[in-house]
Amino acid sequence: EAQVTQNPRYLITVTGKKLTVTCSQNMNHEYMSWYRQDPGLGLRQIYYSMNVEVTDKGDVPEGYKVSRKEKRNFPLILESPSPNQTSLYFCASSLYAPGTGVYEQYFGPGTRLTVT
Amino acid sequence: SQQGEEDPQALSIQEGENATMNCSYKTSINNLQWYRQNSGRGLVHLILIRSNEREKHSGRLRVTLDTSKKSSSLLITASRAADTASYFCATAGAGSYQLTFGKGTKLSVIP
């Protein structure tokens, strides 16, 4: 079954304690992305990757890091989480064609993060 | 940057009625996509319309695109209670590597 998986699904942590949210897809997609969703603000892109070792900042990258060492995995790293990073996080993957743009994205189930 | 803006923010209708949601955007696009999100869950892709297309259908969904007005609409016909969800438009900009989402329309279908 084609899917995007995220772990953990729920996480409560304390300010400053480094954490990693994993994301994996089994569709051989080149393009992967992280979003955060907050009430009233919709989905905002954090980082995206167009292929292995190619990553770029989205609209709200501050306080986050990513890496793309393998095509299927795209972990999101919070080196020193703060309460304003409490949010619902989604990983997504899709095909991508230069000059055509981003195609339909497949989303993971979400990770609800609370930083106290 | 937030490109798509959905209208209305919330919509409540009776089962069997049609629901129409609108999306406006600001810059030129390669394609525009609509997604559905059930409460707290991941988004599900509904339909993609390319910039050179004007209308597209998928089951009970009908999407139109007017690039001269930089707007799109999503029509759900004969709505069902199961259509209750938030609906988002997303734009893939020309020459951009990003998909930019609006804030969504919350649809409630009353049985």
Residue from the list A33, A100, A109 with its beta carbon closest to the beta carbon of B30: A100
B-interface mutation test, from A6, A9, A43, A107, most B Cβ less than 10 A away = A43
Interface residues of chain B, partner chain A, Cβ below 8 Å = 1-2, 29-31, 33, 35, 40-45, 48, 88, 90, 92-104
CA B17 centroid distance within chain? 17
Q: What is the pLDDT of residue B1?
A: 46
Q: What is the DSSP letter of B40?
A: T
| Phi, psi angles (nearest 5°) of residue B39 | -40, 115
Percent of chain B with pLDDT over 70: 96
Kindly compute the dihedral angle of the four CA atoms of residues B8, B41, A50, B104, in this order, to the nearest 10 degrees. Answer: 10
Residues of chain B in contact with residue A90, where contact means CB-CB under 8 angstroms, are 42-43
* Per-residue pLDDT tens digits for B34-53: 999 998 889 999 999 999 99
Residue B93: closest C-alpha in chain A = A101
**Pair A48, A58: CB distance under 8 Å:** yes
Q: B73-108: string of b/e by CB count within 10 Å (b at 16+)?
A: bbebeebeeebbbbbbbbbbbeebbbbbbbbbbbbe
Neighbours of A25 (CB within 10 A): 22
Q: What is the pLDDT of residue B16?
A: 97
Q: What is the DSSP letter of B71?
A: E
CA A18 centroid distance within chain? 16
**Pair A92, A78: CB distance under 8 Å:** no
Is the pLDDT confidence value at B90 over 90? yes
| Per-residue confidence band for B3, with pLDDT thresholds at 50, 70 and 90 | low
Q: A42-73: string of b/e by CB count within 10 Å (b at 16+)?
A: bbbbbbbbbeeeebeebebbeebebbbeebbe
From B53's Cα to the closest Cα of chain A, the distance in A is: 14
| Per-residue confidence band for A99, with pLDDT thresholds at 50, 70 and 90 | low
| Mean pLDDT, range B6-11, rounded to an integer | 91
Residue from the list B40, B44, B95 with its beta carbon closest to the beta carbon of A110: B40
Residue from the list A45, A102, A109 with its beta carbon closest to the beta carbon of B42: A109
How many whole angstroms separate alpha carbon A116 and alpha carbon A86?
8
* Per-residue pLDDT tens digits for A34-78: 999 998 888 999 999 999 999 999 999 999 999 999 999 999 999
Whether the ω angle into residue A81 lies within 30 degrees of 0, i.e. cis, is: no
Q: In terms of Cα–Cα distance, which of B1, B2, B12 is closest to B81?
A: B12
